[in-house]
Amino acid sequence: MPWDRNQMAARAAEELEDGMYVNLGIGIPTLVANYVGDKDITLQSENGMLGMGPFPFEGEEDADLINAGKQTITELRRTSYFDSAQSFGMIRGGKIAAAILGAMEVAENGDLANWMIPGKLVKGMGGAMDLVAGVGRVIVVMDHTNKHGDSKLLKECTLPLTGQGVVDRIITNLGVLDVVEGGLKIVETAEGVTEAELHDATEATIV
Amino acid sequence: MPWDRNQMAARAAEELEDGMYVNLGIGIPTLVANYVGDKDITLQSENGMLGMGPFPFEGEEDADLINAGKQTITELRRTSYFDSAQSFGMIRGGKIAAAILGAMEVAENGDLANWMIPGKLVKGMGGAMDLVAGVGRVIVVMDHTNKHGDSKLLKECTLPLTGQGVVDRIITNLGVLDVVEGGLKIVETAEGVTEAELHDATEATIV
Amino acid sequence: MKKIYDTASSALDGVLQDGMLIAAGGFGLCGIPELLLEAIKDAGTKDLTFASNNAGVDDFGIGILLQTRQVKKMISSYVGENAEFMRQYLSGELELEFNPQGTLAERMRAGGCGIPGFYTKTGVGTVIAEGKEHKDFDGETYILERGIFADLSIVKAWKADETGNLVFRKTARNFNPPAAMCGKVCVAEVEEIVPLGSLDPDSIHLPGIYVHRLIQGTHEKRIEQRTVRKKETA
Amino acid sequence: MKKIYDTASSALDGVLQDGMLIAAGGFGLCGIPELLLEAIKDAGTKDLTFASNNAGVDDFGIGILLQTRQVKKMISSYVGENAEFMRQYLSGELELEFNPQGTLAERMRAGGCGIPGFYTKTGVGTVIAEGKEHKDFDGETYILERGIFADLSIVKAWKADETGNLVFRKTARNFNPPAAMCGKVCVAEVEEIVPLGSLDPDSIHLPGIYVHRLIQGTHEKRIEQRTVRKKETA
């Protein structure tokens, strides 16, 4: 049976190791924070914060304390604040060990598209291009196929790229794949999903 | 009669206007601070401080509070501290209105040499190259001639440059000169010094 | 040299000009110079270019200047949450230059630090890199991005002293320091002007040298996404 | 992930290598990582290159590593006040690369921020510009300077918490943040490690993400030029 959103998040959390500084994207990646257990993980919010805490209790929202998704959040005892130039300095400079991000498309060479659908609503890349270019390891969490059943793991991306050859690992509802020389390599499949099923749902070359 | 060190410093202080942020070099330029009167001047020390105060009282020296000449100093109510990248960011970015610096040689095109005598002791340029390249106005304060009586205002510098075409105004013991198209222009002479005397003591073209 | 002005309008007096480039602080609606934006609306200055990470929402932040058609061009990383923006952009009334968020922040800081250009890996191989100089360093390809030199900076801080030393609060710091640094003139609005000497000199986020004019005012500080969790009952 | 080590030597265990590039904080003798420099002396690591604004004095700071001939090259802006340095330099035993002070600071910050090169006006037309790429922006000439990517950073702060968040004191901040940012590994020595949560999150000068190892120790904090004024008698 394919993983649901929470199972995907839980699987992504296994990628994180004690002491890591991590940036989580919007959507399923945000849920990863619920599954880090007692690992010592520090979350970066690229609008200028290390040590992001959970949502505030009702009535304790602070307009000066939001995450990169503009949601109200809280601080922790380890928290530090800084400006946007410093924040992206640490991202671009490779100080963030990993980013866990959503995607529209991933290509077998690690190309990532997750910021724009031409002709449709154009919102902008925000910090996504900086993150994929800068962090140590880029982990994509997304459904294996789109609403129409088409593979989101492609030979080549069709949408405008967020980054070229930047993805290291892909966690989908069907399993986990690594970007390696020549294509994608299956690391594991979701419980009850066969490698054949995963092959069938994937346009990208599996090696 | 030529000006003495303090008169030169006093004359240099006239260059400063209310609200200015200023960097003072080592030597005579340091004395300028004694002559700003009630003008609202903020002194920058390029090792990371705006709002430099006077030397501490004996026994109140603080090893963590020094100026760019490594002398113990004090802070003021307006003081702010920052790191060296930020400090030279504001210098390079033109936020400092003026620097008052000493010099070994100034050329008639505004070239400045004040950091090195080849074959002799090599100490380094410190922040001098950054200052002359970045601040709004470079004012040199120095003796008009060297120990041997040779002019320090030259047609061309003989020593390695600190900056090319960077000097705006020169205040010497004999008077005040501006760097203009084609050479130096006498702004004023020290009390009792004639323009002829100043001409005689100057190798650079006076226009 | 008095930096303190009574109102946002008086603080902008003489510095506004049609067609100018304004760098604005803020991320989303957090830490935006809301009073100064209102004053620019009242002044009616036209054909403005804004370097600002976001464009506000329809009725708050830069959005109010989109409503009045005072903005010609945005340099931003993210402009969602703004229907009027989208309409003007798709109809060709508004120019839009997308910058990756970190590139935008660094371009502002670079401008403020006298750096006309720097190389970054961000955007290599994407539309962002098109038409930009590419250069290899140690076997990797980077693109040249330019410093932003704005005519005016408008920023919002928490506290200031009379010399313009600024302190920000939590994530409301964001783009405010880099935006402040890159302007020929910087006007800051703050929640409180405190007596000289009451800010810790080790904890000033932006030294007063960057701040030319200053106002104190009351801020709405609107929240864009109010997210909360339930208190667990004991 | 414990960042706190007992001694300077144990904090450097496994990170020292002959021939490595070390970025060190400090200006003159102010804010220098004196304990870590002592430990490097004890470790006997050789052929070191130091990116550091100054080279200490003969018996303090980097000077102690010059005495033991552990330094192959200095990247500095000012090396006065050091007779042994001068002797080794003039005799050709020691390489010296002069950088303007602001260029050196920015090169460290650039390295830490993933920027391999940036343009600056500083040094144009001087020996500093020789052999460097020149480029015009808006009619002015600039030179390309390179980011510094150090193998190791050693810095000194005032206070830290256990996650490595650092706070500096007065002008002892200087090169420490940029030096810390540009190293693959950064070791910090502090005067006091305070309980987690006791540092103001708005007033942390260097977030713990930059700091991999941490020691607390007693510092001599030598003063180079003791200058005082007399108290006027009333």
Write the DSSP string, D38-82: HHHHHHT--SEEEE-S---BTTBTTHHHHHTT-EEEEEES---S-
C175 touches chain D (CB under 8 A): no
For D203, what's the count of Cα atoms within 13 Å in the CB-facing half-sphere?
A: 19
Question: Hey, are the CB atoms on D196 and A82 less than 8 Å from each other?
Answer: no
Helix then strand then coil, % of chain B, to nearest 5: 20, 30, 55
Question: Hey, are the CB atoms on C109 and B75 less than 8 Å from each other?
Answer: no
Amino acid at A145: T
CA D49 – CA D52 distance, rounded (Å): 9
**Residues of chain B contacting C115 with CB distance shorter than 8 Å:** 92
Rounded to 5 degrees, what angle do the CA atoms A74, A75, A79 make? 155
Question: Hey, are the CB atoms on C1 and B19 less than 8 Å from each other?
Answer: yes
> How does residue B120 score in pLDDT terms, banded at 50, 70 and 90?
confident
Give the one of D115, D196, D210 whose C-beta lies nearest to A78's C-beta: D196
List the single residue in B with minimal CA-CA distance to D79: B123
DSSP one-letter string for B28-96? HHHHGGGG-TT---EEEETTTEEEE--PPBTT---TT-B-TTSBB--EEEEEEE--HHHHHHHHHTT-S
What one-character DSSP code corresponds to residue D169?
A: -
What pLDDT digit, counting tens, does each position of C108-166 carry?
A: 999 999 999 999 999 999 999 999 999 999 999 999 999 999 999 999 999 999 999 99
Supply the pLDDT for residue C1. Answer: 67
Give the one of B55, B89, B127 whose C-beta lies nearest to D229's C-beta: B55
Whole-angstrom CA distances from B103 to B35, B142, B147, B163 are 21, 6, 14, 11
Give the one of C115, C121, C203 whose C-beta lies nearest to D120's C-beta: C115
Taking the CA atoms of B87, B90, B93 and B94 in sequence, report the sign of the dihedral they define.
negative
Q: How far is A22 from chain C (nearest CA, A)?
A: 17
Touching partners of A (3+ C-beta pairs < 8 Å): C, D
Tens of each residue's pLDDT in chain A, 207 residues = 899 999 999 999 999 999 999 999 988 999 999 999 999 999 999 999 999 999 999 999 999 999 999 999 999 999 999 999 999 999 999 999 999 999 999 999 999 999 998 877 678 999 999 999 999 999 999 999 999 999 999 999 999 999 999 999 999 999 999 999 999 999 999 999 999 999 999 999 999
Q: CA nearest D26: which of D208, D220, D209?
A: D220
Q: CA nearest B177: which of B133, B200, B144, B155?
A: B144
Question: Hey, are the CB atoms on D181 and A93 less than 8 Å from each other?
Answer: yes
φ/ψ bin of A40: left (φ > 0), alpha (ψ from -120 to 50), beta (otherwise) = beta
List the single residue in D with minimal CA-CA distance to C139: D116
Supply the pLDDT for residue D5. Answer: 98
Amino acid at B44: Q
CA C180 – CA C184 distance, rounded (Å): 9
**Residues of chain C contacting D118 with CB distance shorter than 8 Å:** 110, 115, 117-119
**Residues of chain A contacting D113 with CB distance shorter than 8 Å:** 88-90, 92-93
List the single residue in C with minimal CA-CA distance to B135: C114
Q: How far is B112 from chain D (nearest CA, A)?
A: 10
Question: Hey, are the CB atoms on C209 and B40 less than 8 Å from each other?
Answer: no
Longest dimension (CA), chain D: 61
Average pLDDT score over chain B: 96
B51 touches chain C (CB under 8 A): yes
Rounded to 5 degrees, what angle do the CA atoms B124, D83, D77 make? 20
Q: What is the mean pLDDT of residues B99-125?
A: 92
State the Cα torsion D162-D167-D172-D178 to the nearest 10°. 80
> Does chain C reach chain D with at least 3 CB pairs under 8 Å?
yes
Taking the CA atoms of A80, A83, A84 and A86 in sequence, report the sign of the dihedral they define.
negative
**What are A26's two structure tokens?**
């919007």
**Residues of chain B contacting C197 with CB distance shorter than 8 Å:** 77-78
**What are B49's two structure tokens?**
């401080």
Q: How far is C224 from chain B (nearest CA, A)?
A: 32
- Here the ipTM equals 0.97
CB D192 within 8 A of CB D62: no
Q: How far is C124 from chain A (nearest CA, A)?
A: 7
Give the one of D1, D197, D210 whose C-beta lies nearest to A40's C-beta: D1
CA A52 to chain centre: 16
Give the number of beta-carbon pairs within 8 Å between C and D.
60
Q: CA nearest C32: which of C4, C60, C7, C6?
A: C60
Q: How far is B185 from chain C (nearest CA, A)?
A: 30
Supply the pLDDT for residue D234. Answer: 52
CA D101 – CA D113 distance, rounded (Å): 18
Q: How far is C84 from chain B (nearest CA, A)?
A: 36
* Phi, psi dihedrals of residue D145, rounded to the nearest 5°: -115, 150
> Does chain A reach chain D with at least 3 CB pairs under 8 Å?
yes
Tens of each residue's pLDDT in chain D, 234 residues = 699 999 999 999 999 999 999 999 999 999 999 999 999 999 999 999 999 999 999 999 999 999 999 999 999 999 887 888 888 988 999 999 999 999 999 999 999 999 999 999 999 999 999 999 999 999 999 999 999 999 999 999 999 999 999 999 999 999 999 999 999 999 999 999 999 999 999 999 999 999 999 999 999 999 999 999 988 765
**Residues of chain D contacting C110 with CB distance shorter than 8 Å:** 118
* Count of all residues that appear for chain D in the document: 234
Residue A188 a catalytic site member: no
A84-92 and C101-112 are packed helices; what angle lies between their axes, rounded to 10 degrees?
120
Q: CA nearest C118: which of C102, C98, C130?
A: C102
Give the one of C30, C123, C229 whose C-beta lies nearest to A55's C-beta: C229
φ/ψ bin of C56: left (φ > 0), alpha (ψ from -120 to 50), beta (otherwise) = left
**Residues of chain C contacting D119 with CB distance shorter than 8 Å:** 115-118
Name the CA radius of gyration of chain D, rounded.
18
Q: CA nearest D198: which of D162, D147, D153, D146?
A: D162
CA D9 – CA B203 distance, rounded (Å): 59
A120 touches chain C (CB under 8 A): no
CA A79 – CA A76 distance, rounded (Å): 5
E strand intervals along chain C: 21-24, 48-51, 71-76, 95-98, 117-120, 134-137, 140-146, 150-160, 166-167, 183-193, 213-216
Give the one of D114, D201, D209 whose C-beta lies nearest to A92's C-beta: D114
CB D3 within 8 A of CB D164: yes
Q: What is the mean pLDDT of residues B87-105?
A: 98
Question: Hey, are the CB atoms on C30 and A66 less than 8 Å from each other?
Answer: yes
Q: CA nearest C172: which of B204, A200, A67, B138?
A: A67
**Residues of chain A contacting D111 with CB distance shorter than 8 Å:** 93
φ/ψ bin of D54: left (φ > 0), alpha (ψ from -120 to 50), beta (otherwise) = beta
B18 touches chain C (CB under 8 A): yes
What pLDDT digit, counting tens, does each position of D141-165 carry?
A: 999 999 999 999 999 999 999 999 9
For D180, what's the count of Cα atoms within 13 Å in the CB-facing half-sphere?
A: 33
What one-character DSSP code corresponds to residue C15?
A: T
List the single residue in D with minimal CA-CA distance to C120: D115
Per-residue three-class SS string for A43-89: EEECCCEEEECCCCECCCCCCCCECCCCEECCEEEEEEECCHHHHHH
CB B77 within 8 A of CB C200: no
Q: How far is D91 from chain C (nearest CA, A)?
A: 32
List the single residue in C with minimal CA-CA distance to B84: C113
A47 touches chain D (CB under 8 A): no
Instruction: Give the residue carrying structure tokens 């008169």.
Output: B7
State the Cα torsion B145-B151-B156-B160 to the nearest 10°. -30
What one-character DSSP code corresponds to residue B161?
A: P
Selected residue of D101, D118, D230 to mutate for chain B interface (largest B Cβ count, 10 A): D101
**Residues of chain A contacting D1 with CB distance shorter than 8 Å:** 18-19, 40
